Amino acid sequence: MQVVITGGAGFLGQRLARQLLKQGTLPDNNGQIQTITKIVLVDIVAATGFTDPRIHQITGDIADSKLLELAITPETVAIFHLAAIVSGQAETDFELGMRINLEAARLLLERCRQCAHRPRVIFTSSVAVFGGELPPVVQDNTALNPQSSYGAQKAIAELLLNDYSRKGYVDGRVLRLPTISVRPGKPNKAASSFASGIIREPLSGESAICPVGPDVKLWLLSPRKVIACLIHGYTLTAEALGKSRTINLPGVSVTVGEMVAALERVAGAEVANRVEWQHDPAIDRIISSWPGAWDAKRANALGFTSDASFDDIVRAYIEDDLPAA
Amino acid sequence: MQVVITGGAGFLGQRLARQLLKQGTLPDNNGQIQTITKIVLVDIVAATGFTDPRIHQITGDIADSKLLELAITPETVAIFHLAAIVSGQAETDFELGMRINLEAARLLLERCRQCAHRPRVIFTSSVAVFGGELPPVVQDNTALNPQSSYGAQKAIAELLLNDYSRKGYVDGRVLRLPTISVRPGKPNKAASSFASGIIREPLSGESAICPVGPDVKLWLLSPRKVIACLIHGYTLTAEALGKSRTINLPGVSVTVGEMVAALERVAGAEVANRVEWQHDPAIDRIISSWPGAWDAKRANALGFTSDASFDDIVRAYIEDDLPAA
């Protein structure tokens, strides 16, 4: 069985690849457990540190249909499409966001349609598809009204994947991810980068700037749970999804102030005091347009699970990633 | 002042052009009334019967960026984008629907962005963006879940126009149209073609087939009111629209049985008896996925108005179009 991961050199892509190598199998479209023989990582740069012969790497532009022809073949059974331009960058570089977040998704689906073997395709979407006037808790049937180009591009990719699935060209699933915290590594250009930075940097003895106020509410999920949700989403049957392929993943709703309080509970006051509050209106505008919580009952009924608390998320980071940091 | 109408040779495009020629003016972006000096009709074929020197025609493929460069120039102030592949045809010819309903909309917006003069752009959308599990009356904040490729493509165009407007590249408005009834002329490949045919054909002494049952509920608006809504939507200020450029237009909610009863009241039993009931599952599937009513309070507050009743719609057709039929 052959698997493709776009954005395969990214933090989630690499972690997903390692998990798939470890478990070694996935069900096929008929529910039969198959051995994974090949995982193709597609990204603009190569991932380093993989020595397993099942890993193949293709580097290049994901919005180039020639590259997609190399990556996706009639043998491809599973596609995890994680490649994206993050929210802050898609807002400042409109053309790049449109090309990677929208055009590449469309070309990937077209490649699948031309291959005519109906692969199972997982897209990741985001809290950023919501915005404008929102109920306190977003529901499965709340209208999308993105207030960022990233959110608009993700919402469009959702619609494309749903229609290509309805037509039978792919068997798609869209997982709307909460903001991921705590991401390991360096800050990135996502507006939500601070949601990891205010935990990660203090735990490494560095100060971190929080660009939004302590009352701003976020909907969060740990990397560990995101990987579990990606694989669980893959294993669901098409019948279980009914007339919508889009699933709001479960998460933990906390204010930024509560996040820092959790850090203090887990790691002490000295660590938590390394967070500096310095308002950034451009980041605040995007973050405040996102929902701080949504109703995850459909996801829960489908068997997805979230972290138990933000304290648990901090502890998971300390366990999984701090030693390497 | 220069105006562009795509789909300008179509039924709505021609009617809109005639109304604009008649009224002779439109407000510009500053609310100043300007004389219309040029109306460019863009379509795959030329409209016939226009002799007014303000009418210019460009024929060709709307999904060709070269054609859009000719049609949209720095002098273009208003764009009514009506060109579309209708629902039934977009479902059977997926590639054509994607090219005209999605790619042409994207290219048109890109052309506006490159021109850098922020024209006011009106897109028409449709009841077909809704579907799946729907409340009895669709609300402004009901999630889109299209069950046809036409609906998915229209929903994507809505998202694009909203984001291009938020970024300041255009000043956009999306008008979600009810099903238009009674369209003059011949049946077309829209799944909803019968919603005009069952009135138009009997009034011309011909029989008409109704492919759905009498209990199917439709949300309707007359051509006369659609033209008035298009022009009213153009005249609204951006401030009045807030964080969403998309407006569910008002309409009349009636069952197909009530439509035939209205025809009988207005034109007599002999005419109404020319409707033949012959079920078509493919059409029924698409039509039944659409909402039969939505809450138009936002549109009403913005000053849009609908027909008073379906009887009025039948009378409007007899007045406006039957003599020419």
Instruction: Tell me the per-residue pLDDT of B141-188, one tens digit each, with 9 for 90 and over.
Output: 899 999 999 999 999 999 999 999 999 999 999 999 999 999 999 999
Backbone φ and ψ for A138, nearest 5 degrees, come out as -65, 140
Percent with pLDDT over 90 in chain A: 91
- What average pLDDT does range B32-48 have in this prediction? 97
| Record: contact A144-B144, CB cut-off 8 A | yes
Q: Which CATH superfamily is domain A194-216+253-292+306-324 in?
A: UDP-galactose 4-epimerase, domain 1 (3.90.25.10)
Confidence of residue B28 (pLDDT cuts 50, 70, 90): confident
Whole-number pLDDT of residue A31: 85
Would residue B317 show up in a list of annotated catalytic residues for this protein? no
Confidence of residue B323 (pLDDT cuts 50, 70, 90): confident
List all residues 6 or more positions away from A117 whose beta carbon is below 8 Å from its beta carbon: A74, A76
| Record: contact A163-B146, CB cut-off 8 A | yes
Q: Looking at beta carbons, which residues of chain A come within 8 Å of B96?
A: none
ipTM of the complex: 0.94
Residue with tokens 């309080």: A261
Option in A147, A155, A167 nearest B243 (CB)? A147
Average pLDDT along chain B: 96
Closest CA to B246 of A286, A145, A291: A145
Q: Is the pLDDT assigned to residue B116 strictly greater than 90?
A: no
Option in B140, B152, B166 nearest A159 (CB)? B152
Confidence of residue A269 (pLDDT cuts 50, 70, 90): very high
Q: Which residue of A has its CA nearest to B130?
A: A143
- Give the integer Cα–Cα distance in Å for B149 and B132: 14
- pTM for the model stands at 0.95
What is the full DSSP assignment across B148-179?
A: SHHHHHHHHHHHHHHHHHHTTS-EEEEEEEPE
List all residues 6 or more positions away from A272 whose beta carbon is below 8 Å from its beta carbon: A202, A260, A261, A263, A264
Does A194-216+253-292+306-324 match A2-179+221-250+297-301 at the fold level?
Answer: no
Q: Which residue of A has its CA nearest to B169?
A: A94
Specify the amino acid at residue A80: F
| Record: contact A162-B152, CB cut-off 8 A | yes
Specify the amino acid at residue A188: N
Mutate which of A87, A138, A145 to disrupt the B interface (most B C-beta within 10 Å)?
A145
Option in A144, A146, A152 nearest B143 (CB)? A144
Whole-number pLDDT of residue B324: 83
CB neighbourhood size of B3 (10 A): 24
Q: Which two tokens stand for residue A308?
A: 């138990």
In contact, A89 and A46? CB cutoff 8 Å: no
Q: Which residue of A has its CA nearest to B148?
A: A163
Q: Which of B150, B164, B169, B317 is an active site residue?
A: B150
Nearest-Cα distance to chain B for A156, in Å, is 5
Q: Which residue of A has its CA nearest to B92?
A: A167
| Record: contact B163-A152, CB cut-off 8 A | yes
Q: What is the CATH number of domain A2-179+221-250+297-301?
A: 3.40.50.720
Specify the amino acid at residue B282: A
In contact, A249 and A178? CB cutoff 8 Å: yes
Option in B135, B153, B166 nearest A147 (CB)? B166
Nearest-Cα distance to chain A for B251, in Å, is 21
Q: Which two tokens stand for residue A27?
A: 């069900």
Confidence of residue A117 (pLDDT cuts 50, 70, 90): confident
| Record: contact B152-A131, CB cut-off 8 A | no
Is domain B2-178+223-250 given the CATH code 3.40.50.2000 in the classification?
Answer: no
Q: Is the pLDDT assigned to residue A308 strictly greater than 70?
A: yes
Mutate which of A95, A125, A156, A158 to disrupt the B interface (most B C-beta within 10 Å)?
A156
pLDDT tens figures, B187-237: 998 999 999 999 999 999 999 999 999 999 999 999 999 999 999 999 999
What is the full DSSP assignment across B113-156?
A: HHHTS--EEEEEEEGGG--SS--SSB-TTBPP--SSHHHHHHHH
| Record: contact A133-B162, CB cut-off 8 A | no
Nearest-Cα distance to chain A for B156, in Å, is 5
Residue ranges of domains in chain B: 2-178+223-250
| Record: contact B155-A160, CB cut-off 8 A | no
